[in-house]
């Protein structure tokens, strides 16, 4: 029933009325976004094979609706009204206005033709990438992908110009995933990390250990599913406000704090595979369930940034899930629930497999330590592209040199090199760094948590995970987007982001 | 990106351009409706318990979007453009314009405040109904529900006035579910039916048969599920373009011809329960999968009416599924797939249970014959209410008298009487008749089909169901809304709707 009517003038409504109208408009946008999220979840989990075409049209229609709503003059007028009344709003209400304005401004800055070009090019370039990547496995290189990448980089440059930046065009792209992040602040942190990681890798690899075999035999998916649900329950994930399903690529879809859906991937010959996806997505899921329900649909009910989101998943997957105390508690449960097949499994055999460190080509298969070297290389190259220091034609050799320097290996072809990930083909520049920033935040949060709560290992060994979840809920989840990521970190830990915590954690883990 | 811009004047675009623009606008509405359908399906099947509140907001937001789109001046302008070019459009294109105009006009006729009042009253009255119905089980009657029913009837009278009608306000309500249906045409058909059914019931009941027991023992749900999927496949339902799931109340949700979802309800102590829900929903599902894919999202890609939809479900559930030849073929399959528990089951024991006829109070539990007497009573009362011949206060006694006359029983309380169904509380007047019209259409289609294809029983006994499905696809499904229901019937069977076919079918079945 609501129409795009001309905005009322700032004085025509009371402060609380104008704020409520803004909140309502935000929630309507949030509700449509949530519906779109459900369509996405459904597509990856239960949609029939032949439903794809219609689903694409449904998603496109909802995107159009979202764009119309987010760029409407009515919403803009409501924002201006609310800003005019800023002094009579609470701190939290003003945060809602600030964040909604940020989103709205960003949406309004991108011209329709650019948005369309980005979407179309992304879709075509993604197909070209998939083809070229396979081709490169035989041929070594795949020059036919370069024109697509060039086009995408050009479009992203245009996008950065539309969004605006103070220092570097790359800032505008980073800011889309990590609001407030700037090259000038991120670079020193990542340099510290690199300077610590490269020698650390040498030391860790020098320390040999005897390989321990995995037990043979298959664990049926239903048994694994029950065990994975049990792990989620132990973390405090509410399965009445969420689900765990299977999909080809594990992901988390938070429709609302009361409806958060995780997926995992089961391999009957490797029961640990699902476990770590589940713990990872479970961490994301706890964040989504911990967001303030009353603010659902508005920016205050949303996660603050990708890196903070990733810090939650990495905390549970790595700090908790790859630790000895965790398996001292969880392995007997696993054996009880999944039976005979696991009888040969020991805490040591599990830890050997999930904590092995090696130099490798593929980011998504990398271990907790080397993973970040892959991301550092991405950051380095992305920054160089958008500062103008590197041309698209030079990416492949920059990649191969970087791999040699950071990881000591040279990819045999582009598929195992710069073309391994889909991200760039669909325009996701500025996205990779959030993975590693997430690891750094996770380590810093864990350190602060330990100061507040005492030994995490002692709690984990006892299966007492709820104090950790409550700490995260209180320090991170419940705030939504009220504070930017950097401020949230300062409030939660008393310090700005510092790679030292993560380096210390890795040292303790692998050399301690 | 598309905005509500003022409509172009009729001459500014070529006929094909203006039609394409209209088709595109229709598809966008269809896509949002399809998304809303998915939200509904999800809610009934897999949504976590605590997802309800956010889901309601998502649905409300999509309803608002749909209403805005359907009543927009831009769409109205496109319709006028297309109408101005009618002579250069094909018959099918003109049908699209006609049907879209119908929907648009109806949407524009309902003022926003009435739509809101109907939605709010419907929701509140439904809660009042549930409470009062329980109360009436002890107290006999439940006068506290009457004010709600009165309010709803008033609102529906207002709605009928807004929609407009030529003869009776009830026509406007019927027309919402059964486009083109009029009391003056429906009443004589249903009178013929009543005059045949009442004496037929006496004759059928006079014919006693020995009761045959159901086998004892439970059939696990996974085994039932596999068998029910098998039955769907045998009907020609494409499980790569659809799903079968479980829900409390079976239903069909057609998102698109490539994504049609059915649900059924499993009872481990009564394996036939799920089977008949599956066959019923499978009939609906075949219709949805048979709609023209290229017209998806426009009226031409939609089912023509509720009665025609119901004719498809009743054909497969009753004409096929409750017949002896069907079980001669299907019972051996059932025994093979569901094992030992069914060893005592015979074709006769199945048929005895699924074809028992009795006088009863509850419509949804009624058999193939008496079911229609329940509906006839609804029609009679609804017509009297909206013609002004019956006040809301008189409904209960009219109901009880009608039950005595038609079915020979008197309900012990309102819960087993006029308050048994939720429909009236949420304003569904004019809906009930479509159930029985569906039965009549089904019988008439079956008769025409038999003339075209030869003995249906012979095909069914051989498990050869595809010729029947193809006949329905060709005569009914593929047309979408190109022809109104009455014309579709004439084209498919050569005759206007006639209750005689159904009466003859019942006589043959129960007395033959």
Q: Tell me which residues of A are annotated as active site.
A: 281
Nearest to A401 by CA among A384, A386, A425, A388: A384
Same-domain check for residues B353 and B367: no
**Per the structure block, which two tokens stand in for A447?**
């350190």
pLDDT confidence tier of residue B215, bands split at 50, 70 and 90: confident
The one-character DSSP state at B269 is T
pLDDT score recorded for residue B13: 60
For residue A467, being part of any structural domain is answered with: no
What is the C-alpha separation between B418 and B430, in angstroms, rounded?
15
pLDDT confidence tier of residue B11, bands split at 50, 70 and 90: very low
What is the C-alpha separation between A253 and A177, in angstroms, rounded?
17
pLDDT digits (tens, 9 = 90+) for A411-432: 999 999 999 999 999 999 999 9
Nearest to A150 by CA among A114, A121, A116: A121
Interface test with chain A among B2, B5, B35, by most A beta carbons within 10 Å: B35
pLDDT digits (tens, 9 = 90+) for B15-31: 788 899 999 999 999 99
Whether A448 and A493 have beta carbons less than 8 Å apart is answered as: yes
Same-domain check for residues B347 and B391: no
For residue B84, being part of any structural domain is answered with: yes
CA distance B117 to chain A (A): 13
pTM: 0.91
Please give the residue range of the domain that contains residue B492. Answer: 221-359+435-511
CATH number at residue B251: 1.10.1370.30
What is the C-alpha separation between B40 and B17, in angstroms, rounded?
35
Same-domain check for residues B331 and B203: no
Same-domain check for residues B351 and B233: yes
- Whether B144 has a pLDDT exceeding 70, the answer reads yes
Same-domain check for residues B234 and B377: no
What is the C-alpha separation between A148 and A128, in angstroms, rounded?
8
For residue B487, being part of any structural domain is answered with: yes
Pairing mode, strands B242-246 and B259-264? parallel
What is the C-alpha separation between A492 and A446, in angstroms, rounded?
10
For residue A43, being part of any structural domain is answered with: yes
Mean pLDDT of chain B: 94
* Phi-psi label, residue A360: left if phi above 0, alpha if psi -120 to 50, beta otherwise: beta
For residue A60, being part of any structural domain is answered with: yes
Same-domain check for residues B468 and B319: yes
Same-domain check for residues B270 and B200: no
**Per the structure block, which two tokens stand in for A441?**
């935040």
For residue A59, being part of any structural domain is answered with: yes
Whether B379 and B433 have beta carbons less than 8 Å apart is answered as: yes
pLDDT confidence tier of residue B214, bands split at 50, 70 and 90: confident
Place of tokens 């904590």: A355
CA distance A133 to chain B (A): 29
- Whether A437 has a pLDDT exceeding 70, the answer reads yes
pLDDT digits (tens, 9 = 90+) for B488-510: 999 999 999 999 999 999 999 99
Cα nearest neighbour of B3 on chain A: A68
- Whether A2 has a pLDDT exceeding 70, the answer reads no
Same-domain check for residues B137 and B239: no
Nearest to B43 by CA among B28, B62, B56: B56
Closest partner residue to B241 (CB to CB) among A2, A50, A240 is A50
For residue B312, being part of any structural domain is answered with: yes
Same-domain check for residues B253 and B325: yes
Place of tokens 């879209």: B100
Q: Is A260 helix (H, G, I), strand (E, B) or coil?
A: strand
- Whether B8 has a pLDDT exceeding 70, the answer reads no
Mean pLDDT of chain A: 94
Nearest to B61 by CA among A20, A36, A97: A36
Which candidate in B178, B281, B310, B368 is catalytic? B281
pLDDT score recorded for residue B9: 45
CB atoms within 10 A of CB A317: 24
Quote the number of domains for chain B.
3
Q: What is the 3-state secondary structure (H, E, C) of A105-174?
A: HHHHHCCHHHHHHHHHHHHHHHHHHHHHHHHHHHHCCCHHHHHHHHHHHHHHHHHHHHHCCCCCHHHHHH
Catalytic residue list contains B167: no
- Whether A7 has a pLDDT exceeding 60, the answer reads no
pLDDT digits (tens, 9 = 90+) for A138-189: 887 788 999 999 999 999 999 999 999 999 999 999 999 999 999 999 999 9
pLDDT score recorded for residue A12: 54
Please identify among residues 294-323 of chain B the ones whose CB lies closer than 8 Å to any CB of chain A.
296-297
pLDDT above 70 coverage of chain A, percent: 97
Same-domain check for residues B302 and B347: yes
CA distance B468 to chain A (A): 24
What is the C-alpha separation between B338 and B344, in angstroms, rounded?
12
What is the C-alpha separation between B456 and B462, in angstroms, rounded?
10
Strand partners, B245: B263
For residue B396, being part of any structural domain is answered with: yes
pLDDT digits (tens, 9 = 90+) for A463-481: 999 999 999 999 999 999 9
pLDDT digits (tens, 9 = 90+) for A189-247: 999 999 999 999 999 999 977 888 888 899 999 999 999 999 999 999 999 999 999 99
Place of tokens 């819960």: B415
Whether A119 and A159 have beta carbons less than 8 Å apart is answered as: no
Whether B490 and B441 have beta carbons less than 8 Å apart is answered as: no
Place of tokens 């034609």: A393
Whether B355 and B368 have beta carbons less than 8 Å apart is answered as: yes
Interface check for A5 against chain B (CB to CB < 8 A): the answer is no
- Whether B376 has a pLDDT exceeding 80, the answer reads yes
Cα nearest neighbour of B30 on chain A: A58
- Whether B276 has a pLDDT exceeding 60, the answer reads yes
Q: Average the pLDDT over B398-426 and give the result.
A: 95
Report CA torsion sign: B137, B138, B141, B146: negative
The one-character DSSP state at A261 is E
CA B215 to chain centroid: 32
User: Last residue of some domain: B389, B421, B453?
Assistant: B421
pLDDT digits (tens, 9 = 90+) for A312-337: 999 999 999 999 999 999 999 999 99
- In chain A, what is the greatest distance between 2 CA atoms, to the nearest angstrom? 76
- Is B259's CB within 8 Å of A61's CB? no
- Whether A406 has a pLDDT exceeding 90, the answer reads yes
Q: Average the pLDDT over A445-462 and give the result.
A: 98
pLDDT confidence tier of residue B5, bands split at 50, 70 and 90: very low
Same-domain check for residues B331 and B381: no
Same-domain check for residues B351 and B456: yes
Please identify among residues 20-49 of chain A the ones whose CB lies closer than 8 Å to any CB of chain B.
27-28, 31-32, 34-36, 38-39, 42, 46-49
pLDDT score recorded for residue B142: 81
CA A289 to chain centroid: 16
pLDDT confidence tier of residue A512, bands split at 50, 70 and 90: confident
């Amino acid at each position: 029933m609501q129409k795009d009517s001309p905005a009322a003038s700032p004085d025509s409504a009371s402060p609380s009325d104008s704020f409520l109208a803004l909140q309502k408009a935000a929630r309507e946008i949030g509700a449509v976004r949530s519906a779109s999220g459900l369509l996405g979840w459904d597509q990856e989990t239960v949609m029939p094979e032949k439903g794809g075409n219609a689903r694409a049209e449904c998603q496109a229609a909802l995107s159009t609706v979202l764009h119309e709503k987010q760029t409407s003059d009515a919403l803009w007028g409501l924002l201006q009204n609310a800003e005019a009344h800023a002094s009579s709003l609470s701190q939290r209400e003003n945060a809602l206005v600030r964040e909604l304005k940020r989103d709205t401004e960003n949406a309004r800055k991108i011209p329709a033709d650019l948005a369309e070009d980005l979407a179309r090019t992304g879709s075509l370039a993604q197909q070209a990438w998939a083809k070229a990547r396979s081709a490169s496995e035989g041929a070594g290189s795949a020059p036919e992908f370069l024109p697509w990448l060039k086009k995408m980089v050009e479009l992203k440059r245009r996008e950065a110009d539309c969004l605006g930046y103070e220092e570097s065009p790359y800032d505008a792209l980073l800011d889309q995933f990590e609001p407030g992040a700037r090259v000038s602040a991120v670079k020193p942190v990542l340099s510290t990390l690199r300077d610590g990681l490269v020698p650390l890798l040498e030391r860790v690899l020098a320390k040999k250990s005897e390989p321990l075999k995995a037990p043979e035999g298959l664990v049926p998916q239903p048994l694994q599913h029950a065990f994975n649900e049990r792990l989620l329950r132990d973390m405090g994930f509410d399965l009445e406000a969420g689900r765990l399903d299977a999909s080809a690529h594990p992901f988390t879809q938070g429709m609302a704090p009361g409806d958060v859906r995780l997926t995992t991937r089961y391999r009957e010959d490797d029961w640990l595979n699902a476990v770590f996806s589940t713990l990872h997505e479970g961490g994301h899921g706890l964040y989504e369930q911990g967001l303030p329900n009353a603010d659902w649909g508005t920016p205050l009910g949303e996660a603050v940034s990708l890196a903070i989101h990733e810090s939650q998943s990495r905390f549970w997957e790595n700090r908790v899930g790859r630790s000895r105390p965790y398996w001292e508690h969880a392995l007997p449960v696993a054996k009880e629930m999944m039976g005979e097949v696991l009888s040969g499994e020991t805490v040591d055999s599990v830890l050997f497999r999930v904590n092995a460190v090696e130099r490798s080509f593929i980011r998504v298969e990398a271990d907790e330590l080397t993973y970040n070297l892959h991301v550092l290389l991405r950051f380095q190259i992305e920054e160089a592209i958008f500062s103008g220091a590197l041309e698209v034609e030079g990416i492949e050799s920059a990649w191969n040199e970087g791999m040699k320097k950071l990881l000591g290996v040279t990819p045999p072809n582009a598929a195992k090199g710069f073309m391994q990930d889909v991200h760039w083909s669909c325009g996701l520049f500025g996205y990779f760094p959030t993975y590693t920033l997430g690891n750094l935040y996770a380590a810093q949060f864990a350190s602060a948590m330990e100061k507040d709560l005492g030994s995490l290992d002692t709690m984990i060994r006892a299966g007492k995970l709820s104090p950790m979840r409550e700490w995260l809920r209180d320090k991170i989840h419940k705030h939504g987007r009220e504070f930017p990521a950097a401020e949230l970190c300062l409030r939660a830990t008393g310090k700005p982001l510092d790679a030292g915590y993560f380096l210390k954690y890795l040292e303790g883990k692998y050399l301690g």
